[in-house]
């Protein structure tokens, strides 16, 4: 049976007419699926039972379910999501000041093998379908309202996987998230984080995406970055500068550089000078991120992060220091590895 959420509203209308059903039912069903986030046909209360039975006979709703929830002392909540085929991914609800942010995943596992990231030690099993990505947002949104009585304000594609290696599904999911007939969130509240796939960054520009782009940089020399991020061997810093400037020219959207500060790896004055030189080539701001230890690697958090930030600020760069959230439940940046499922 076909996943009903694979149908556009027009295709759903056509199917209903073929079944002898009135056209207006398409809007009702579409509303249940994409605005009210129902996960079974019997919950569609204004749809006649005869039509609900037809839907049940022809279609499925392979919805994502929350399998685990871990609560941090700082209010962060890490969720284990079970997919219809038994695979798991993780997502995080991060309450911070006026923001209520959902961090979501785009793949089961990852193929990029970044040495400081727990997900990088997992094999990539498959890409998430667009509705599985959407479901993570919907479930975290419900959790934010139930737990904190506050709406979801931001979405970051910074969970498990490389979003640009699941390009079609990620873009379709974000279109649904921002569709006024679905979730209706502003694209300006969405940030996609990539390890740096140059040709796909350019494609984002060609497609005129309206969400924000962040590059996981973490080192500003090719030699050092290739050691911790193998993707740099085929997508060098020079390639990325060209791609990011192309993206900016097409969209007018300033890029965020994410730089996880790791003790003895990328936190020296020389590293700060190299980051300054890299950042001056593009329209950007910089987020310095506290490194979060993982079992698979021996990296340590840097005590020099504030000094590092001061050097960048003296060079007139826009810098924010991002403190870890959810570290006590392995929900912080770089820690998602389905430990709760292992």
Q: Over the stretch 88-136, which tens digit does the pLDDT of each residue have? A: 999 999 998 889 999 999 999 999 999 888 888 888 999 999 999 999 9
Q: Determine the pLDDT at residue 298.
A: 82
Give me the percent of the chain exceeding a pLDDT of 70: 94
Q: Over the stretch 311-339, which tens digit does the pLDDT of each residue have? A: 999 999 999 998 766 555 554 454 456 55
Q: Determine the pLDDT at residue 159.
A: 93
Cα dihedral value 102, 106, 107, 111, nearest 10: -110
Q: Determine the pLDDT at residue 326.
A: 55
| Positions marked active-site | 90, 333
H-helix or E-strand containing 220? Answer: none
Q: Determine the pLDDT at residue 97.
A: 87
Strand 88-96 and strand 77-82: the pairing is antiparallel
Q: Mean pLDDT, the chain, as a whole number?
A: 93
**Mean pLDDT across the stretch 289-315?**
91
Q: Determine the pLDDT at residue 263.
A: 95
Q: Running DSSP on this structure, what letter comes out for residue 296?
A: T
- Tokens found for residue 23: 């056209």
pLDDT exceeds cutoff 50 at 233: yes
Question: Do residues 197 and 231 make contact, with C-beta atoms less than 8 angstroms apart?
Answer: yes
| Measured distance CA(105)–CA(83) in Å, rounded | 12
Strand 77-82 and strand 65-71: the pairing is antiparallel
pLDDT band at 161 (very low <50, low <70, confident <90, very high): very high
Q: Over the stretch 3-58, which tens digit does the pLDDT of each residue have? A: 999 999 999 999 999 999 999 999 999 999 999 999 999 999 999 999 999 999 99
Architecture of the domain delimited by 72-341: Alpha-Beta Barrel (3.20)
Question: Do residues 333 and 260 make contact, with C-beta atoms less than 8 angstroms apart?
Answer: yes
CATH class of 2-60: mainly alpha
* Packed helices 198-206 and 237-251: angle between N→C axes, nearest 10 degrees: 10
| Measured distance CA(105)–CA(119) in Å, rounded | 10
Q: Over the stretch 170-229, which tens digit does the pLDDT of each residue have? A: 999 999 999 999 999 999 999 999 999 999 999 999 999 999 999 999 999 999 999 999
Q: Determine the pLDDT at residue 269.
A: 97
Q: Over the stretch 50-76, which tens digit does the pLDDT of each residue have? A: 999 999 999 999 999 999 999 988 999
Q: Determine the pLDDT at residue 324.
A: 65
**Mean pLDDT across the stretch 231-236?**
98
Q: Determine the pLDDT at residue 186.
A: 97
Domain residue ranges in the chain:
2-60, 72-341
Q: Determine the pLDDT at residue 117.
A: 87
Q: Running DSSP on this structure, what letter comes out for residue 165?
A: G
Q: Determine the pLDDT at residue 86.
A: 95
Q: Determine the pLDDT at residue 296.
A: 80
């Amino acid at each position: 049976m076909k996943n009903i959420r694979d149908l556009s509203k027009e295709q759903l209308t056509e199917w209903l007419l073929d079944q002898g059903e009135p056209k207006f039912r398409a809007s009702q069903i579409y509303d249940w699926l994409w605005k009210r986030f129902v996960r079974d046909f019997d919950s569609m209360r204004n749809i006649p039972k005869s039509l609900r039975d037809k839907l049940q006979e022809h279609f499925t709703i392979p919805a994502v379910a929350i399998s685990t929830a871990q609560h941090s002392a700082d209010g962060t909540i890490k969720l284990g999501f079970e997919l219809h085929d038994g695979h798991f991914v993780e997502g995080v609800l991060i309450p911070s000041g006026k923001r209520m942010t959902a961090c979501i995943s785009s793949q089961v596992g990852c193929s990029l093998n970044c040495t400081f990231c727990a997900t990088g030690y997992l094999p990539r099993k498959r890409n998430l379908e667009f509705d599985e990505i959407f479901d993570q947002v919907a479930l975290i949104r419900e959790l934010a309202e139930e737990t904190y009585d506050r709406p979801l304000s931001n979405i970051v594609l910074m969970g498990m996987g490389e979003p640009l290696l699941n390009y079609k599904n990620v873009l379709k999911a974000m279109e649904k998230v921002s569709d006024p007939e679905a979730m209706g969130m502003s694209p300006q509240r969405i940030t996609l984080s990539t390890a740096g796939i140059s040709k796909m960054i350019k494609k984002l520009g060609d497609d005129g995406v309206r969400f924000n782009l962040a590059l996981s940089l973490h080192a500003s020399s090719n030699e050092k970055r290739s050691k911790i991020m193998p993707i740099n061997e085929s997508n060098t810093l020079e390639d990325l500068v060209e791609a990011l400037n192309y993206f900016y020219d097409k969209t007018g959207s300033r890029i965020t550089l994410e730089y996880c500060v790791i003790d003895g790896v990328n936190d020296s004055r020389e590293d700060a000078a190299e980051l300054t030189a890299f950042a001056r080539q593009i329209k950007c701001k910089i987020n310095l991120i506290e490194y979060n230890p993982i079992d698979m690697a021996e990296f340590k958090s840097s005590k020099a992060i504030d000094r590092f930030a001061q050097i960048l600020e003296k060079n007139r760069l826009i810098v924010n220091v991002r403190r870890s959230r959810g570290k006590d439940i392995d929900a912080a940046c770089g820690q998602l590895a389905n430990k709760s499922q292992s």
